Structure 1
Amino acid sequence: MPAFSHDFPFDPTYGHTVDDLLAVPAPPAPADFAAFWRARHEAARAIATVPVVGPVEEVRDGFRVHGVTYTSVGGVRIGGWLVLPDDGPVEHGFVVGHGYGGRDEPGPDVPLPLPRSAALLPCVRGMEARGRQTGIPVLADEHVLHGIGSRDTYVIADCVADLWCAASALLELVPGLTGGDQGEGPSSLGYLGESFGGGLGALALPWDDRFAAAQLTVPTFGNHPLRLTFPCVGSGEAVRAHHREHPEVTGVLRYFDAATAATYLRVPTLTAPALFDPSVPPPGQFAVHNAIAGPRELHVLTAGHFAHEGTEREAKTLRDARERFFAAHLG
């Protein structure tokens, strides 16, 4: 296990060895877990997303980057970026989730894992810079608690829907990507998500067969009962504090457990959990990987949410791995 010098008042490995991490299970699903999420997915798929593409904002690494907006559940307009190849046809597509705090620009998600790809990079509701919504807190520690009193009002459910609607908008804007349940032939749509986006992806992917493959990096929301026992410096600490005052929230969290959802996830998935992570406890990350029902590939990171001497090297190795992975699994 890694031994980093740090000043956290807890051990970001949480005392787990690799063998321990590979044995962390998923909590059992509520009896109506699948029905709940399938109903949410059906409602999101019925939305007319009406995507609107803005002018080119930048050109980088062989891709054009446009601003884009689209409609999600509740009539909310979601903003983000549409990425298109600077030249030639589109052969692959991606929906790209983001970490907690949102994104101010496409950042390191461009270039995409494969050439001749298009992508929609949304800022889910409430998040910077293009997902701001009146009444939804921007700060992660407040956002993660918004509507948490009920599974039907919890903001995380609508953030998942924002990803489904992003897929609908991308497939409308780039109809050549249609596949799976939207057209003939294999799907050429993939998902990329890190941290918050990794957890949202695990919740979203099992119910949407338009996606053919996914990468989940340091995913959050895995094994909530265990997470509630671990101190951290991420949004999970806000949930822990809320739970101390409102222990009944565990009934809601059961429906938003990324590891539980992963037991329904059957598309090939590359996971990149970390051994040391002060923001997203590693046992929860590995719980997501361990629970995946379909083909899975494990790429272990030394640390997540923590800069160290090998950060750039590990990032490059992971980029290389995801390129190989998506080349093998996207039609």
Structure 2
Amino acid sequence: MPVFEHGFPFDPAYGRTLDRLLALPAPAAPPDFDAFWQARYEAARRVATAPAVGPQEEERDGFRIFGVSFTSVGGLRLGGWLVLPADGPAEHGFVVGHGYGGRQDAADAVPLPLPRSAAILPCVRGLGARSRRPGIPGEADLHVLHGIESRHTYVIGDCVADLWCAASALLELVPELARDTGTGTTGVGEGTVPGGAALGGGFGGGLGYVGESLGGGLGALALPWDDRFACGQLTVPTFGDHPLRLTLPGVGSGEAVRKYRRDHPEVTDVLPYFDAATAASRIRVPVLVAPALFDPAVPPPGQFAVYNALAGPRELHVLLAGHFEHAGGEQEAKELASARQRFFAERLPNL
């Protein structure tokens, strides 16, 4: 286990060895967990996202970067960035999530995991430079509590839908990324969405998802239901194993939820619907997870619970630390980038 000097009043490794972390199970799902998420997915697929692309903002690393906006559930207009190959058509497609620090530009995602790729980099509602909205707090500790009184109003559910709508926008803007997948496997049944795609089947199956921290947790919640994604990569994912997280102190958004629960014990009836580890047990596509052994913001036990629960092909890339600057951090980032590139090169064949 790593040993770092730190000033936290708790142990960011939580006293757990790698063996113990790899033995953590996922919490049991509520009886209507699948139906809840399938209904939300179906609603998101029915949204006419009406994507709009702004002028080119920069070009670097073999990619052109544009501003983009699209409509998500509830009619909310969100912003972000569209990334296209500098030359030639796109051969791969990605949706790239962001952490609770928000996304201020495209620097966190460009270059993309593979060359000759297209991607949408959405700012989920309330966060980042382009999706701040009245009525939705932009600070992590407040955002994570927004609407938490009910599973139907909790902002995390809408943020997951923002990712699905971002995927719809990307496929509309870069139609060569769409693939005919035939019969769907999401279980949501047939239906029609704007542009003629079929719910639970039709077009898709070729996208990759990349998410870190908040984006990792949202990705775990999004991937089980959307067969437009062929694979995903999650780094230090949050929202894993809520029952355990509520017992672990920290400095991230989870601490805000832990404190909220002291005065609102009824929140324990809401959180099971937003458990990334529970959702991971429904993911069938290949996923590469990079959890950390030491992390003051997202407790490692929750991160490893996500990996442990994965139902499909899985790969593990262990980091020494997450959300913590340390001497080996730069080298760890390079090694993860290399692993990510190899993973997607093997899982996302050229169009």
The question of 1:293 aligning with 2:308 is answered no
Among 304, 320, 330, the residue aligned to 1:302: 320
Task: Among all aligned residue pairs of Structure 1 and Structure 2, give the percentage whose two residues are the same amino acid.
Answer: 73
SS for the counterpart of 1:191 is strand
> 1:7 is matched with which residue?
7
- Alignment RMSD: 1.1
Post-superposition Cα deviations, 1:161-199, rounded to whole Å, max 9, x if no partner, equal 000000000000000000136588983210000000000
- Paired AA for residue 30 in structure 2: P
> 1:264 is matched with which residue?
282
Post-superposition Cα deviations, 1:141-178, rounded to whole Å, max 9, x if no partner, equal 00000000000000000000000000000000000000
Q: Equivalents in 2 of 1:172, 1:90: separation in Å?
A: 13
Q: How far off is 1:128 after superposition? A: 1.7
- Paired AA for residue 217 in structure 1: T
* 1:28-39 equivalent positions in 2, closer than 5 A: 28-39=28-39
SS for the counterpart of 1:98 is coil
Quick check: 2:50–2:70 contact (8 Å CA) kept in 1? Answer: yes
Q: How far off is 1:140 after superposition? A: 0.2
The question of 1:200 aligning with 2:218 is answered yes
Structure 1 spans left out of the alignment, 5+ residues: none
Q: Equivalents in 2 of 1:106, 1:266: separation in Å?
A: 29
SS for the counterpart of 2:270 is helix
* 1:187-226 equivalent positions in 2, closer than 5 A: 187-226=205-244
Q: Equivalents in 2 of 1:135, 1:14: separation in Å?
A: 36
Q: Equivalents in 1 of 2:21, 2:211: separation in Å?
A: 21
- Paired AA for residue 66 in structure 1: F
Q: How far off is 1:107 after superposition? A: 1.4
Quick check: 1:125–1:159 contact (8 Å CA) kept in 2? Answer: yes
TM-score, normalization: structure 2? 0.93
* 1:1-331 equivalent positions in 2, closer than 5 A: 1-179=1-179, 180=181, 187-331=205-349
- Paired AA for residue 5 in structure 2: S
Q: How far off is 1:51 after superposition? A: 0.1
Please identify runs of 4+ aligned residues in structure 1 that moved more than 2 A.
180-188
Q: How far off is 1:287 after superposition? A: 0.1
Q: Equivalents in 2 of 1:187, 1:12: separation in Å?
A: 38
> For this pair of structures, how many residues does the alignment match?
331
- For residues 184 and 77 of structure 1, do their structure 2 counterparts lie closer, same or farther at Cα, with a shift above 3 Å needed? closer
SS for the counterpart of 2:64 is strand
Q: How far off is 1:108 after superposition? A: 2.8
TM-score, normalization: structure 1? 0.98
Is the helix fraction higher in 1 or 2?
A: 1
Quick check: 1:159–1:200 contact (8 Å CA) kept in 2? Answer: yes
- For residues 111 and 293 of structure 1, do their structure 2 counterparts lie closer, same or farther at Cα, with a shift above 3 Å needed? same
Q: How far off is 1:89 after superposition? A: 1.2
Post-superposition Cα deviations, 1:16-72, rounded to whole Å, max 9, x if no partner, equal 000000011100000000000000000000000000000000111010000000000
Quick check: 1:177–1:187 contact (8 Å CA) kept in 2? Answer: no
SS for the counterpart of 1:107 is coil
Q: Equivalents in 2 of 1:234, 1:316: separation in Å?
A: 25
Q: Equivalents in 2 of 1:101, 1:144: separation in Å?
A: 12
Quick check: 2:94–2:120 contact (8 Å CA) kept in 1? Answer: yes
